[in-house]
Amino acid sequence: MAVFCRSAASLVKPVFLLPSTFAAVRHYSSGGQFQYILVDKKGDNNNVGFIQLNRPKALNALCDGLIIEVNKALDSFEQDSGVGAIVITGSERAFAAGADIKEMQNRTFQECYGGSFLSHWNKISTVKKPVIAAVNGFALGGGCELAMMCDIIYAGEKAQFGQPEILLGTIPGAGGTQRLTRAVGKSLAMEMVLTGDRISAQEAKQSGLVSKVFPVDQLVSEAIKCGEKIASNSKLVAAMAKEAVNAAFELTLAEGNRLEKRLFHSTFATEDRKEGMTAFVEKRKAMFKDN
* CA dist., res. 43 & res. 45, Å (int): 5
Sign of CA dihedral 103, 104, 105, 111: positive
* CA dist., res. 54 & res. 64, Å (int): 14
* Whether the Cβ atoms of residue 263 and residue 243 lie closer than 8 Å to each other: yes
Return the DSSP state at 7. Answer: P
Shorter beta-carbon distance to ligand CAA: residue 171 or 245 = 171
Minimum CB–partner distance for residue 216 and ligand CAA (Å): 16
Which contiguous run of DSSP H or E holds residue 50? strand 48-53
Shorter beta-carbon distance to ligand CAA: residue 8 or 180 = 180
Shorter beta-carbon distance to ligand CAA: residue 84 or 142 = 142
Shorter beta-carbon distance to ligand CAA: residue 103 or 157 = 103
Active site residue 142: yes
Catalytic residue among 85, 94, 162, 165: 165
In the complex, the residues that contact ligand CAA under the rule CB under 6 A are 58-59, 61, 97-102, 118, 138, 140-142, 145, 164-165, 168, 172-174, 176
* Whether the Cβ atoms of residue 12 and residue 4 lie closer than 8 Å to each other: yes
Minimum CB–partner distance for residue 52 and ligand CAA (Å): 17
Sign of CA dihedral 166, 172, 177, 179: negative
Shorter beta-carbon distance to ligand CAA: residue 145 or 260 = 145
Active site residue 243: no
Catalytic residue among 69, 145, 222, 260: 145
- What phi, psi does 68 have (nearest 5°)? -60, -40
Minimum CB–partner distance for residue 80 and ligand CAA (Å): 28
Active site residue 99: yes
Catalytic residue among 96, 99, 183, 238: 99
Active site residue 145: yes
Minimum CB–partner distance for residue 16 and ligand CAA (Å): 37
Catalytic residue among 43, 98, 141, 142: 142
Q: What is the DSSP string of 83-112?
A: --EEEEE--SSEEE--B-HHHHTT--HHHH
Name the residues annotated as catalytic.
Answer: 99, 142, 145, 165
